[in-house]
Chain A
Amino acid sequence: MTPAMTEIDLGPVVAIPPGEGRTIEAQGRKIAVFHTRAGGVFAVQAECPHRGGPLADGLVGGTTLICPLHSWKFDLATGAALFGDCGLKTYPVRVDETGRIFLTIDNS
């Protein structure tokens, strides 16, 4: 049985400056949403698996994210750890034709 999915409107992509991230809260979960300079939008868990650093405050280059606390590195597209021993949970996102971000979250 597939879990029920909900799609949530996160507002306009321009609310996130290019190259930065912001934290949102949905379904009781904190999620970091990033808007890369190349125009991509990605969503991952908000806290670093290492020591809980706020990933939305990290540095982004391409799709590489660096946590601000101890510089663990992740790939935003896959969630894979590039430095560190644990990856990130990713969430599907899309930007519609009006430039709004929609995040899909499972209800489980």
Chain B
Amino acid sequence: MQTKQKLVVIGNGMAGARTVEEILARGGGDMFDITMFGDEPTGNYNRILLSNVLNGSYKEDEIYLNSLSWYKEKNITLLSGTRAAGLLPRAKLVYAENGDAEPYDKLIIATGSRPFIPLMEGTTMPDNSFKPGVFVFRTLDDCREIAEYAKGKKSAAVLGGGLLGLEAARGLQNFGLEVNVVHLGGHLMQAQLDPAAGAILRSSMEKLGVKVHLSKNTRGILGADRVTGLRFADGSDLECDMVVISAGIQPNWEIAAGCGLTVERGIVVDDQMRCIDSRDIYAVGECAQHRGRTYGLVAPLWEQAKVLADHITGRNTRAAYHGSKVATKLKVMGVEVASMGICEPEYPEDEVIQFSDPKRGSYKKLIIREGRLVGGMLLGDISKAAYLMQSFDRNTPLPEERLGLLFDLGDPPKQVTFEEMSATTQVCNCNGVSKGTLVACVNSGMRTAKAVMDATRAGMGCGSCKAMVGEIVEWACGGKIEEDPSVHYYVPGIPLTKPELIRAIRERNLKSVSAVFDYMAGGKEDAASKPGLASLLKVVWKGEYEEETDARFINERVHANIQKDGTFSVVPQMPGGVTSVQQLRQIAYVAEKYRVPLVKLTGGQRIDLLGIRKEDLPKVWEDLGMPSGFAYGKSYRTCKSCVGADFCRFGLGDSMLLASKIENEFQGFDSPHKMKLATAGCPRNCSEAMVKDVGAVAVEGGKWEIYIGGAAGSSIRKGDILCVVDTHEDVLKYMGRFIQYYRENAKYLERTHGFVQRLGIDKIRAVVMEDSEGIAERLDREIAESKAAYKDPWKEAYSIPANNQFATLLPVLS
């Protein structure tokens, strides 16, 4: 049996513990016996939340990340309250302050950092301890001592107007103290904000009662045996009963330097987080210096921990850390702040987008280089933070529309951030999934949006919350989100994108769903993938497609829409919502004959007969004598219209005739999702053509505007104008081209509004109108062939000798 290696970790803070978690997640528990040195006498807690403990919004036990029992469970020896005193790399030993020695095969240094104490007179007592009333703000113990000392005091000063200092100030204010922030620099939060933003933050803080003293160099702390005030270099004094020093952090590199490892501002590591002098010693977190930089935030630490774990476990020996892009979002005394990258432009070509509204405490600034975000800050209104931080982090190109980067234009603003959203808030309104349920999935180990959606069905009803589900999963995962490659597949069961799949289907001449599974998935069927494949094969092969009814969802098997009680609804074709006395008589006759429980007008201007038993369907269709309206399929549904030029005194174009031509052109077309169309005889848009998947609106001058990608269901979107044309024939031609392009390129169950937004109207216009890909002629031909292959499924069902597709019960011989 292979014996385990000994892994020793110095430091049980967020870096040490997170790294160990990552190692365990990669099977490290079987490879290593793990021992951890922890300075503090407890498990590992979330240091970021310390200010919340100080201000009382969290209790101490609420910020623990790993309790002591966790270490026991994972077989980790935790030497809590034991400080590692030294290190002998040659002997591979770590020794503790009490003289105990701990041998290692691999060592991780995660000693973090400590508060930086500027040189000031009167900071310490003769025995070198802090003068009573002087504090730093770094550990739970600090929190407790500050809270204890603050009792009965009147005023406090915080030295340092950086992020941590302001958080400390917020905590102190909750003890009823008068709080002063004393800052050496010219504005607050210099690492994250520019002077204008700092000034707005200052005035917001002063409104809340915090006094801010800028450009103040503190020379000494006054008071003989306890703090009574501060003295500044300009000779002035400030009275206060206590001082919290928050003037930055200093990496704890002493243990590394003491044994000769290379140390500059931190312990110098390579891209695998190894000390450059030893193959067996790693450093991670605030104590490490990578490519000249040290980090004091948590996100870089997570990235480092992953790389270290990949490397040390051999899971991915080529894993490399390339440095982090630092972005942060926080609330400083009720003021929301988001910041990323640089604060000021660095080159003349850098583009600066800025908005300032000091009176309302709002400030936004973005720095753009070569179309990409390299820095920025948001103050007050940070509704765009999630989007911007993601663009910054992924270095994605920004849209040309710069205004939309700063403000939500048109879209309803996001009401709350995910942190603020209560756990019980329902995110998926179709399947009743709350934020808490999504977060619980992530906490149980799921790391992809798809895994969470599969487990909860969130986002799998109407689909309108899908993006938000993804964002919440990403937020809950912190830095640990992973992408499921299957999100790029056309259907989950075949690992190919849509264009790859179409190519394979054509090359191998696969004409049925079972043939696709046989040749592309080793015969392994996936139930959920079947309808998508059937739809695509029909688009590719048209009349040559070999129908296998089992691949179809029940609606498409029986050409009717299944209802909650297992009965079906029947909607006959009625192009443009135009009917006749004969049709109405026939429908009335059928409704009476089959005792149809409900007759209702649909949103698509048709008549719905609901509650039909499956076995009655073919007889109902035969008695109706009308073609199928396809009100059940992932297909072209219908085209509604207004009265148009015939009767309406405003009508500019013949919308009813156009609707019936459209219906005749595209009826029965399979497509990635349903397609609902409309025509309007004038821009009053009574038939709502501008919010349809595809719509045509008559405008003055005998012209028609074609709209694509509209939606007015679970999502609402006005369509984009594809083009303006002169004749019905041109309307059909360009609608057809767009529809065929959508059929070939959209993901299964992607509506046109998602498709148009994903590709962008410019790209679609180029393909459809300017033939930028040289495929226009082929698209036109495909449409003509699909049209030629149309058959009314209802007529087929009642004219071909019955199979038992429509039987609800099979006869049983007993």
Contacts and interface: CB of A to CB of B under 8 A. Distances in A.
A62 interface: yes
Interface string B791-814: 000000000000111011111111
A51 B564 contact: yes
B454 interface: yes
A83 B457 contact: yes
A49 interface: no
Contact of A23 (B455, B565, B809): B809
Contacts of B528: 59, 61, 66
A61 B526 contact: yes
B553 A59 contact: yes
A87 interface: no
B457 A71 contact: yes
A49 B454 CA distance: 19
A68 B557 CA distance: 12
A58 B803 CA distance: 18
B460 A20 contact: no
A19 B550 contact: yes
A105 B530 CA distance: 32
B407 to A, nearest CB: 39
Nearest to B551: A19
A60 B813 contact: no
Contacts of A11: 810-813
A64 to B, nearest CB: 5
Interface residues of A, number: 38
Contact of A26 (B527, B564, B812): B812
B316 interface: no
Interface in A54-73: 54, 57-62, 64-66, 68-71, 73
Nearest to B807: A22
Nearest to B563: A69
A68 B632 CA distance: 13
Nearest to B531: A59
Contact of A58 (B549, B554, B808, B812): B554
A68 B814 contact: no
A24 B564 contact: no
Contacts of A6: 814
Contacts of B548: 18-19
Contact of B554 (A16, A25, A68): A68
A23 B566 CA distance: 12
B446 to A, nearest CB: 14
B814 A26 contact: yes
Given A51-B564, A83-B454, A60 B811 contact: no
Nearest to B568: A57
A89 interface: no
Nearest to B803: A17
Contact of A20 (B514, B550, B565, B813): B550
Given A10-B810, A11-B810, A65-B527, A22 B804 contact: yes
B527 A53 contact: no
B810 A64 contact: no
B553 A68 contact: yes
A100 to B, nearest CB: 9
A49 to B, nearest CB: 15
Contacts of B526: 61-62, 64
A54 B565 CA distance: 8
Contacts of B454: 83
B682 to A, nearest CB: 42
Interface in B521-575: 524-531, 548-551, 553-554, 557, 562, 564-566
Contact of B524 (A16, A18, A19, A62): A62
A27 B457 CA distance: 36
Given A26-B812, A61-B493, A61-B528, A53 B566 contact: yes
A57 B566 contact: yes
B527 A10 contact: no
A25 B809 CA distance: 7
B810 A23 contact: yes
Nearest to A105: B814
Contacts of B805: 17
Nearest to A59: B527
Nearest to B513: A19
A60 B529 CA distance: 10
Contacts of B557: 57
Contacts of A53: 566
Interface residues of B, number: 36
A69 B811 contact: no
Contacts of A19: 514, 525, 548, 550-551
A9 interface: yes
Contacts of A61: 493, 525-530
A33 B809 CA distance: 10
Given A37-B525, A60-B550, A71-B457, A23 B808 contact: yes
A61 to B, nearest CB: 3
A25 B549 CA distance: 23
Nearest to A34: B550
**Residue with the highest number of chain B CB atoms closer than 10 Å, among A26, A54, A59, A64:** A59
B460 A71 contact: yes
Contacts of B549: 17, 20
A30 B769 CA distance: 56
B525 A62 contact: yes
A15 B813 CA distance: 13
B527 A57 contact: no
> Most A CB atoms within 10 A — which of B514, B526, B808?
B808
Given A22-B810, A71-B457, A37 B550 contact: yes
A18 B550 contact: yes
Contacts of B527: 59-62, 64-66, 73
B566 A54 contact: yes
Nearest to A23: B809
A41 B528 CA distance: 20
A13 to B, nearest CB: 11
Nearest to A36: B525
Contact of A24 (B493, B551, B809): B809
Interface string A22-53: 11111000100100010000000000000111
Contact of B812 (A10, A62, A69): A10
A54 B814 CA distance: 23
A26 B809 CA distance: 10
Given A17-B550, A18-B550, A59 B812 contact: no
A15 B550 contact: no
Of B524, B551, B803, most buried by chain A (CB within 10 Å of CB) is: B551
Contacts of B455: 83
A26 B814 CA distance: 9
Contact of B810 (A15, A58, A66, A69): A15
A50 B566 CA distance: 13
Interface string B19-60: 000000000000000000000000000000000000000000
A22 to B, nearest CB: 5
Contacts of A25: 809, 812
Contacts of B530: 59, 61
Nearest to B431: A70
A59 B454 CA distance: 17
A65 B528 CA distance: 9
Contacts of B457: 70-71, 83
Nearest to A57: B554
19 contacts: A6-B814, A11-B810, A18-B550, A19-B525, A19-B548, A23-B810, A24-B812, A25-B812, A30-B809, A51-B564, A52-B565, A58-B554, A60-B550, A61-B493, A61-B525, A62-B525, A69-B562, A71-B457, A83-B457
Interface of B: 454-455, 457, 460, 493, 514, 524-531, 548-551, 553-554, 557, 562, 564-566, 803-805, 807-814
Interface of A: 6, 8-11, 15-20, 22-26, 30, 33, 37, 51-54, 57-62, 64-66, 68-71, 73, 83
Q: Which 5 A-B pairs have the closest CB atoms?
A: A19-B550, A61-B527, A61-B525, A57-B554, A54-B566
Given A20-B549, A23-B809, 7 more contacts: A10-B812, A23-B810, A59-B553, A60-B525, A65-B527, A71-B460, A73-B527
